[in-house]
Copies of this chain bind each other. A is one copy, B any other.
Amino acid sequence: MPETSPRPAPPEPAADTRTGPLTGPRGARSVGIVGAGQLARMMLGPAIELDLTTIVLATDPAESAAAVAARVRPGRHDDEQAVRDLAADVEVITFDHEHVPTEILERIQREGTTAVRPGPAALVHAQDKLVMRERLSALGHPCPRWWRISTGDDLAAALETAGGRLVVKTPRGGYDAHGVRIIEQADQAEDWLAEHGELLAEELVPFTRELSAQVARRPGGEATAYPVVQSVQKDGVCYEVVAPAPGIDHSAQQRIQALALAIAEDLDVTGMLAVELFETPEGEVLVNELAMRPHNTGHWSMDGAVTGQFEQHLRAVADQPLGSTAPLAPTAVMVNLLGGTAEDLAPGAHAALAADPALKIHLYGKSVRPGRKIGHVTLIGEDAADLLARAHRAERLIVDGPESLTDPLTPGEPR
């Protein structure tokens, strides 16, 4: 005999955490998305529900979003004519990634017929790590110690000051673990220095964990913050997120949300902003990276918050009122699916759904390569350890196939 699931205890009524003016009588009804990766893909479902017309600019028709979007335009993100043609057909353009050249966006913005959100003056802080460090430092926001490196001598001096080890980053073009290197000798970054001219060097922060603070902001200044989450990287790639960050107290969370909102305001960000942070042993935070788009550390919100980050990004860039960021449960977890041994994800996904009816699977429709982000899973509930164990069991079934767990109905160890 079937059982009705007992009614869960209530979420608190969603407090209105939005600050700033709720301006604008209408908002945009069409959004062009530059780039066709999984972030663009995950905007499509919410866009349908909001009846926002979207057009995706895709390099290849097989890209994650291009394969499932109703309106796809072929073209590269760095082809000015392609980006212009996209912009000509929509009220707003936004982004799947940070790699559109700033000059292209500045020219489109100057013409004034299509809004660019986030605008190029904001976006440059997510595109160029040197620009970001300089601006955040000037604004007094907490950063690791950092150095602008133009010569081998600069690097040697910074190495000495920092105690013999540095994180060196290419200012532009990096993502995930790409464009980041830890060095102990100046000649270990010679090739990059020759290639890029300038590098960013940072002290290695002895952090206790990584946090991420996401906010959404509209053009008129209305903004709202999501719960601060804990993220775990694996080989430099986001792998596991717990929302909210375990053990974080109310005042720490407020302080960090205020920091993220201040950065959004200071940089005039529109859309979603993710502020990736290091938490230090002293309980302080230092800004690691900025991303001005939906972010991997916010995927939990698709299933775990009243307004998922993809819907929120669209509402923000379309200048429509922002939605509640209230969580739907005390804890949400997200585990990335990184390409493993299974080439066909269907049997593992099937086994994972059979084992756990509460599991939410998001597949990106991408071909499998080792370590590549090909999807993610989420769970909501009470106990982070239990949720993570279940999410990792699902992850193993999906990325390595059902045969990878001899007893798929017994929770596996997180690997």
Q: A residues near B, CB below 8 A?
A: 1-19, 22, 24-27, 29, 41-42, 44-46, 48-51, 67-70, 223-225, 227-228, 244, 250, 253-254, 257-258, 261, 306-307, 315, 320-330, 345-347, 349-351, 353-354, 357-365, 375, 380-382, 402
Contact = CB atoms under 8 A, between A and B. Distances in A.
A2 B261 CA distance: 9
B224 A2 contact: yes
Contacts of A365: 51
Main SS class of interface, A: loop
A255 to B, nearest CB: 10
Contacts of A26: 346-347, 350
Contact of A45 (B46, B359, B402): B46
Nearest to A362: B49
A294 B51 CA distance: 20
B6 A15 contact: yes
A4 B364 contact: no
6 contacts: A1-B254, A25-B347, A25-B351, A69-B70, A306-B358, A306-B380
A357 B321 contact: yes
A380 B360 CA distance: 20
Given A10-B330, A51-B364, A321-B354, A4 B25 contact: no
Contacts of A364: 51
A2 B330 contact: no
